[in-house]
Amino acid sequence: MIIKVINPNTTQSMTDKIGATARLVAAAGTEIIAVSPRFGPVSIEGHYDEALSVVGVLDEIRSGEAAGVDAYVIACFGDPGLLAARELASGPVIGIAEAAMHAASVLTTGFSVVTTLVRSCIIAEHLTHNYGMAKFCRGIHGTDLAVLDLEESGSDAYQVVLNSCRQALATDRSGAIVMGCAGMSDLCVRLQDELEVPVIDGVTAAIKWAEGMVAIGLKTSKKGDLALPIGKLFSGDLARFGK
């Protein structure tokens, strides 16, 4: 099976890291294609960035459908464009926030999210309600690390995230940590060893979930709101997205 992992920001080093993390857990026979859109923001740290990243995500879904991709992972913790992507896709589309929260909810009765900027915490909070995970989410904590700080080798990002995880576990009385950024996917194993609680990365959780659904023949429903988009004219820069 082919799983296309879409990093909605355009930072190739982060896409390469996300791809490497995904390949570490992918089953034999699963081909991982990790991509960034050809256009969009270098990082997503708020509503504006997220809104403008969605067209790039949809462009990658469209080319994936033409290439016979079996499933997709949207590798940004805001799960940008998730429902619109499901309209276009025949196979399952999983968001990393959705996957991480659901995985956490079967491992503990209360988890904490540790993410990047404080200003993007509200996006995660909205998702906990959208996904019915609010009753499991005991707190969302911003480290005020910029997303691209996670790409700086030699930075103190790991220590900042570790300290924030420790504080979250104590303050929230939670039993697990959900990583609130795809750029943190490579920190999980080490954090889990140090914290001795489950530390859940959405990239790996989404890969295993997608693999499982493809393996049992499940596809996105084309009945109702996730049916293929209605063909119509789009103008200007979006003209090529129309019929």
Catalog residues that contact ligand 5HY under the rule CB under 6 A.
Answer: 9, 43-45, 76-78, 115-117, 120, 147, 181-183
Nearer to ligand 5HY among residue 59 and residue 70 (C-beta): 59
Contact 33, 101 (CB under 8 A): no
Least separation in angstroms between residue 182's CB and ligand 5HY is 4
Q: For residue 222, which amino acid is it? A: K
C-beta contacts of 235-243 below 8 A and 24+ residues apart: 238/55, 241/55, 241/58, 241/59, 241/62
Nearer to ligand 5HY among residue 64 and residue 78 (C-beta): 78
Residue 2: strand pairing partners: 31
**Which tokens belong to 232?**
């119509």
Nearer to ligand 5HY among residue 150 and residue 169 (C-beta): 150
Least separation in angstroms between residue 205's CB and ligand 5HY is 14
Least separation in angstroms between residue 164's CB and ligand 5HY is 13
Nearer to ligand 5HY among residue 69 and residue 140 (C-beta): 140
Planar angle of CA 89, 92, 96, nearest 5 degrees = 110
Nearer to ligand 5HY among residue 90 and residue 158 (C-beta): 158
Question: Measured between alpha carbons, how far is 214 from 200 in angstroms, rounded to an integer?
Answer: 22
Least separation in angstroms between residue 99's CB and ligand 5HY is 12
Least separation in angstroms between residue 44's CB and ligand 5HY is 4
